[in-house]
Amino acid sequence: MNFVPLRLIAFGLAAILAVFLLFSIAYREPSHPSVATRWWHASTVGDVMASIQNSTLGFEKILVLNMPERSDKRDALSLAASLTNLKFDYVDGVLGKNIPSKALPVGQEQRTMPNSTLGSWRAHMNAIRGVVEQNLSSALILEDDADWDIRIKSQLLDFAKGSRYLLNQPPTQQTHSPYGDGWDILWLGFCHDIIPENDPRTYLIDNDVSIPQPDKMYFNNPELFSHYPNHTRIVHMVGSPICTFGYAVSFQGARKILYALSVKELRGIFDNALSWWCTDHGQDSVCIDAHPSYFYQHRAAGASGKNSDINEGLPPMEKGQTYNIRWSTRLNLEKLVMGQTDFEDSFPDGP
């Protein structure tokens, strides 16, 4: 009979113990950047996350809300999608005045919100209902004035490491979604949020040169970035997000939202209602975002009111503008069409 030397057994047990301790640290202390996140950052992108590089950014579909008569917005958005190798499916916007009062949820029977706000809610719900009806595993939902950095695919690879980190699912673990499993919303485009006190875990993406310096960013909580070096993106659980320029829903998340924000009740305008749903945890919601966000509202050059179908009071714009995005796809359309690569940097480093 052959016996395995005791020192080989001891070595094997030590190796198993080391692996166990590594995973224990990562899972027990996911907010400790010096220990846990180091392994996540160093992990290579394998087949699990490769689909983020496809035309729908790793989601089953990208759905865009667009009023049929706003051909100007669809023209610009379709061109931007084509030039950054993305594929969009469009969902028609809704005029609030065309929604019968009897079709409104509990809380809005007396039409306490303006028709424009009700129309926005219904368009979002139609997109979310479509995820349920089509049995989509996930969908990214964008408003038709959304803008993104030309480098969106590489950006979301880093975000996926952060979302998986918060979900305690290492980048090498097999999951259905490249962003990890178990999330309801990935809130990728917003105008304001905070880190929640009840879950202050963060995953830091450092040296992200696609992020402007803090003094050139537009956000409502500048103190958030005062604790980190320039070019740091912070992935965290949502605290109180506002605006829905872009957000992804999982199939299960879409089911929950369809119930909570339509079948059950409507507590306020859509982005507020969705934010409250994320943060009151009545349905064990799991919502993740990143500061600064990846999608932001683009304001095209043009007359007063051109840039919103809800707020007609916006001033005219002499030049197009997108906050917080350095290599704006919208502002580089001509260069992309011409095959040029000297992209306009909206927020270059320096004073």
Residue-wise pLDDT for 128-144, tens only, equals 999 999 999 999 999 99
Q: Identify the pLDDT of residue 351.
A: 87
Residue 180 region, left (φ>0) first, then alpha (ψ -120 to 50), else beta? left
> What is the pTM for the complete model shown?
0.86
What is the arrangement of strands in the sheet containing 295-299, beginning at the earlier edge strand?
146-148, 295-299, 321-322
Q: How far is CA 68 from the centre of its chain?
A: 25
Structure tokens given for 52: 């983020």
DSSP conformation letters of 244-262: -SEEEEEHHHHHHHHIIII
Q: Identify the pLDDT of residue 312.
A: 63
Residue-wise pLDDT for 184-195, tens only, equals 999 999 999 999
Residue-wise pLDDT for 76-128, tens only, equals 999 999 999 999 999 999 999 999 999 999 988 788 899 999 999 999 999 99
Is residue 2 over pLDDT 90? no
Three-state secondary-structure class, residue 289: strand
Angle at CA of residue 219, ends 329 and 344, nearest 5°: 25
Q: Identify the pLDDT of residue 287.
A: 98
Q: Identify the pLDDT of residue 12.
A: 53
